Amino acid sequence: MVAVASAACGGTTPVEGAGESGGDGAFPVSVQSGASGEGAAVTIPARPKSIVSLSPTATETLWAVGADEQVVAVDALSDYPAGVPTTDLSGFSPNVEAILGYEPDLVIAMDDTGELAAGLKAAGVPTLQLPAAADLDEAYSQIERIGTATGHLPEATSLVADMRGKIDAAVAAAPTRTEPLTYFHELDDTLFTISGRTFLGEIYGLFGLESIADAGAAGDAYPQLSAEYVVAADPDLIFLADGQCCGVTAAKVAARPGWSSMAAVRNGQVHVLDEDISSRWGPRVVDLVTTIGGVVAAQPAPVG
């Protein structure tokens, strides 16, 4: 859950004296691991031919930049696009021995859980860590870094440009409002939510939306609100990111004690989001922006 320089501005650089090109870029390359501007460089000696992805977002990105034929295994949560080589590997509790069983020449993971990087380094396998993006610039940077690491930087650069264009178009198509709409984004049925300082908060903020958590989160980026707080805040819009995990629907929200009095429920403004799209920061973030933009565009203009 959850402005930096793009990868093209220093996150990824060819190593001096690079030899193998693979037709898409010179290798070896040095690619920054971790968050932009913070992680150490990882050297990838040759164009990878046996990639293991332990991150659903990285998996989606690998396919989007055309590196799918280089991927031999992905983690158990990677389920998009259809046909990815899903295994029982875990990015949260990684088993280095199991990963090495796929003979990878590059592993991409979210975090260094369980000293994953150290174990793979001892085996001579480069590990690129790409944690949850804090903002759109970081998401773009990670796409370009994956492109460089796999020999597909031109495709990654083109993908980022396309994403930027579609997001800009979606924002431009939404009407400007003098008074911001408020929203409640439900992460699960225990009422954890997001503040405006998160990656998702930035997405909503593109359309001028304000999280009801901002007024009472006490600095917590992902606070848990009480039902009484949500009802009293009376958000204009409710977005549910727990339809798949928890079976939450608009009807079930309306049946909660006191919730039927809220404007969003009365006006039919409870919207179920795709959980995967709303929890990942890869190429399909465009779909999330478009969905939210469509909801905002459909709101009646303020009276007066």
pLDDT digits (tens, 9 = 90+) for 5-53: 333 333 444 443 333 444 446 899 999 999 987 889 999 999 999 999 9
Torsion angle in degrees (nearest 10) through CA of 59, 60, 62, 65: 180
Q: What does pLDDT average to in each consecutive run of 10 residues of the chain (304 residues)?
A: 34 40 71 89 97 98 98 97 97 96 98 90 96 97 98 98 98 92 97 96 97 84 96 98 94 97 97 96 98 95 59
Residue owning tokens 């922006």: 289
Domains for the chain: give ranges and CATH numbers: 7-164 (3.40.50.1980), 175-297 (3.40.50.1980)
Quick one: pLDDT at residue 14?
A: 42
Quick one: pLDDT at residue 304?
A: 45
Name the strand (E) or helix (H) holding 251. helix 250-254
CB 34 within 8 A of CB 129: yes
User: pLDDT tens, 173-206?
Assistant: 999 888 999 999 999 999 999 999 999 999 999 9
pTM of structure: 0.90
Q: Is 187 exposed, middle or buried, given 0-12, 13-18 or 19+ CB atoms closer than 10 A? A: buried
Quick one: pLDDT at residue 302?
A: 67
Name the strand (E) or helix (H) holding 71. strand 71-74
Count how many residues are written for the chain: 304
The b-or-e profile of 83-95 (16+ CB within 10 A means b, else e) is: ebeebebbbeebe
Answer left, alpha or beta for residue 64, where phi above 0 means left and psi between -120 and 50 means alpha.
alpha
Give the up-direction half-sphere exposure of residue 236: CA atoms within 13 A in the CB hemisphere: 15
CB 73 within 8 A of CB 89: yes
